Structure 1
Amino acid sequence: MIRDALSLPRTIWLLGLVSLVNDSASDMIYPLVPLYLASVLMAGPKALGLIEGLAEALGSVLKLFAGVLADRLRRMRGWVIAGYALSGLVRPLIALSTSWLGVLACRFGDRVGKGLRAAPRDALLTLSVAPNQRGLAFGLHRAMDNLGAVIGPLIAAGLLGLGFSLREVFFWAIVPALLVVVLTLFIHEPERATLKAKPFRWDLSDQPRALRRYLLVLALFTLGNSSNMFLLLRARELGLGEAQVPLIWALVCGVAALAGPPLSALSDRIDRRRLIIVGWAVYAVFYLAFGLLPAQPWLLWPMFAGYGLFLAATEGAEKALVADLVPGDQAGTAFGWYNLVTGVLLLPASLLFGWLWSDVTPLAAFAFGSACALCAALLLAFWVGAQRGAFVEGAAET
């Protein structure tokens, strides 16, 4: 597997390095936002659900927009540079927020940047590697992304341990963000066949049937997959110390980084659905158990490690499956739809989760997420397709 990873093109490794440094900046801030809202701005789960859901949903519209235009213009590099630059410059401004509305504005700006870069970047990855290495390429990219998500919380924990305030930690995130902008300038545009672009259709009738079904199943899963910030808020509620919150998130990302490449590479050799189904089943068990968990902080560490395995099994495989279902000249649009579906559904998912948590019980919120994941796994197994080969063949259907 190491030899195969080293044989991947330079673009894959460069995009992975960009994601590593970017997530170091992002995750210096991300796990601390629930603490900042609760302890500094005095906002609760409902505000957190609104912030995360609205920011992700509105930013996700741009993911489709950028993906479609990247296919039409045959240019992806500019979208990637602009997206990373905007996110990196906006994130530290959370430190200046005096209400949850300020945090919403900053998170929205961050997600707009992600919206501009996500689909074009995934199309870059798709076009830079052979089809039989897609799982490994996306897995390596996600592993480096998750490695950055380990480094960021560790830096944040270190700064907090040295006596820095939450606001000061947010300001320091500008340093890796500037390095990201420099690195993106070295990305090269891949060669693409000059084909006549298909008319864009909002009803997805221009997309393969297998992809349409897959997106519907992803929508159901995402409805129960609210912001990860709720997991951190729950961990804090169950007795985890403030300085330990970024450390436990680092554990999640560390497990995902280590297990991601081999599990994603496995999806190149088997039906990718099997790996995703197992991952979603693990998620269903994890969420139900998390809602039932007693106030024993030591139990949180193996629980969050298990969550990292879920991420490792699904993050690369889910995207590689999207790439399998469309021809290369439609990759930007396909990933735009993928990101739109998984982003827009975070708004009702996070709002519903926050409402169930506040007005019913945390267990009700986590049980709902578990049920959605289980139903999505069953649909992926019996409705989207029966064999891996059927997917590839289905990509030609309209």
Structure 2
Amino acid sequence: MTARLQTIAISKHYDSVTALSATDLEVRDGEFLTLLGPSGSGKTTLLQILAGLVEPSGGRLLINGKDATHAAAGDRGIGMVFQSYALFPHLSVWENIAYPLRMRKMDKAAMASAVKDALEMVQMGSYAHRLPRELSGGQQQRIALARCFVYKPSVILLDEPLGALDKKLREHMQSEIRSLHKDLGATFIYVTHDQEEALNLSDRICLMNQSKIEQIGTPQDLYDKPATAFSAQFIGYSNLLSGRVEKHAGDDNIRLCNARFSVPIHVPEHVPVHSLLPLDKTPGADDISLVIRPEEARLSSVDDAYVKGTVREVVFAGSDFRVLVDIGEKQPFLLRCGRRDAPAPGDTVGVTWNPAHTAVVTC
């Protein structure tokens, strides 16, 4: 797939502070890429560099294969939806949405039709003649979305555009954004710190941490095959069991071992071979962690368990119960069980899982 945008060692420094480390990223033509990460991870800085709002300290930006590192924001052919709305306070809702079409000298009939469609998309048709100050924060955000989408740019940057919306409207707008992406065929680059939103919307997720890319891949790849402990913990909830890999003579099983347990593991291809200790090597410190998602674990008898412990808490979650089990690690082990199978706090239980449905990350 053709790269619509590409950064080559692009970076941003403010004196001694690194806002974005040298970053290489290709954004494919027509894809929905989400920049996900905690506050301060560099995702918004990267988005602002792509938009032309921040001058990079180093590196290059290519748009459609052409150098656009120092191109003016208005010359990049990119639309942007700001977290702060950036509506014109003296213009009505209708006039705010129509503004980019006026700048492109669209005829009045086509403009009126396009604005009407954009207002219907964000469920704001009855607010066309109001001023921004007469709208709630969520309503202003919907107008900001409509103003960007109305002129159908080929690349659209969205900086946490749904942050001000309530849950029901947020879910509706996620559906609308997915439909718009499909209908427009545009390249969307979307910034959020909401994991669920990223999983729902994205073709690929670029997970960022400490001013650099931690991992990039499809939502399923990041969830099922985290490359680092940070990835495993940031995308959904993960149980991490730390230990060392052992494979002994006469035993075909590879196991994760520490002072409290020895459990079979499936070593995926992305784990470096050097994580596997030679048979004649003296076991050293913990060097990997086993990642087990709560939905992959299940309660078992103590005799058949990989790990065992005491139930700390049982939380009702509607369709199931969430069970926290103290197994001697820093964090309790979280798993889900059916409403009829829930144990009681204080019970001694076993926990097991399918080794093939786990991931391994280096410590």
Shorter-chain TM range is under 0.3
TM-score by length of 2: 0.24
Larger radius of gyration: 2
TM-score by length of 1: 0.22
